[in-house]
Structure 1
Amino acid sequence: MSDISLSDLAWITREELSSHMLGSDAAPQLPDHIAVIDVRDSDHIGGHIKGSTWVPSSELDYKTPELVRTLKDKEVVVFHCALSQQRGPSAALRYLREKRRLDPQSKTEGKGEDAKKDEKGQKVVVLTGGFTQWQEKYGADKRLTEGWKKDIWEFGY
């Protein structure tokens, strides 16, 4: 059994993530050191965070080892689903546990507000409120959101 649990997960707000994306002088984009993994399934329609990678939660069983390998050089990995209540946090846990399985020497430090950071400096966090909260504030902002469809979201999730 893993010693990593839901209470160990760290969170990032939509404002914190957007400030990273808007922080450069260049055109707004996801910085190279951050990866955003969207684990929504069919509810992925209607928009997504610009630069995010869509990995449906139904595919996580076999895609998590690949994610660990491809994201190893990222400083921050952000997971989210629609509300970040179940699929997003579960995906973050699965990712952390797979990292531990593939590299048993890798220990993680910090709890709760102290972002989970392993010895190689990677933080794994969950987007507070998921895409639902994100799109409430940034859905129409084409600098931060791609493919947003107002009519899908206007009556809530």
Structure 2
Amino acid sequence: MSNITVATLPRISRDALSALLLTTLSSSTTTTTPSTLAIIDVRDSDHVGGHITTSTWIPSSSLDYRLPELIRTLQDKEKVVFHCALSQQRGPSAALRYARERERVLGVDAEKQEVYVLEGGFVQWQEKYGKDGRLTRDYAEDIWREY
């Protein structure tokens, strides 16, 4: 049985993630996902109005059947960051399910990867970085005015 819980999953701030993302993007020769970082967006129908650069959208409703694929495709990433709108339920839950399944499948090798939850989710992210085209794609400011 895994010792990983929602409470033990580390959080990453929007500022720390933006610095990491900018560093990995500047060292990458393409605009594809940096080789050391994966960002997984688990918003469902609320996945509108923008997304973090290089993030992969996997709606929480499809996470269970996509877990094997995620574990396989993300196996070489050093850091994996999960988020939803607020990172209060779906994001932490997805990160926990991923970390536990990865640990079950890979055993001790799972320790080579850090799994995080983005503090404040996309709502807090877009407040500071929504208009920054390096960090956010397809941003629609009018959707976020009420937040």
Q: TM-score, normalised by structure 2?
A: 0.90
Map of 1:60 onto structure 2? 63
Given the alignment of the two structures, is residue 133 of structure 1 paired with residue 124 of structure 2, yes or no? yes
Aligned partner letter, 1:150? E
Q: Mark the runs of 5 or more structure 2 residues left unpaired by the alignment.
A: none
Give structure 1 regions of 4+ aligned residues with deviation exceeding 6 angstroms. 25-28
Map of 1:11 onto structure 2? 11
Displacement of 1:26 in angstroms is 6.6
1:76–1:125 Cα contact (<8 Å) kept: yes
Local SS of the residue matching 2:117? strand
Match of 2:39 among 19, 36, 41: 36
RMSD: 1.9
2:28–2:34 Cα contact (<8 Å) kept: no
Question: Higher helix share goes to which structure?
Answer: 2
1:20–1:31 Cα contact (<8 Å) kept: no
Partners of 1:92 and 1:15 in 2: CA distance = 20
Q: TM-score, normalised by structure 1?
A: 0.85
Aligned partner letter, 1:92? A
Aligned partner letter, 2:99? L
Partners of 1:8 and 1:107 in 2: CA distance = 19
Displacement of 1:25 in angstroms is 6.2
Partners of 1:59 and 1:26 in 2: CA distance = 30
2:95–2:117 Cα contact (<8 Å) kept: yes
2:95–2:116 Cα contact (<8 Å) kept: yes
Aligned partner letter, 2:140? K
Identical pairs, percent: 59
CA, structure 1 residues 90+151, in 2 after alignment: closer, same or farther (shift >3 Å)?
Answer: same
Aligned residues: 144
Partners of 1:129 and 1:99 in 2: CA distance = 24
Displacement of 1:27 in angstroms is 8.1
Map of 1:106 onto structure 2? 108
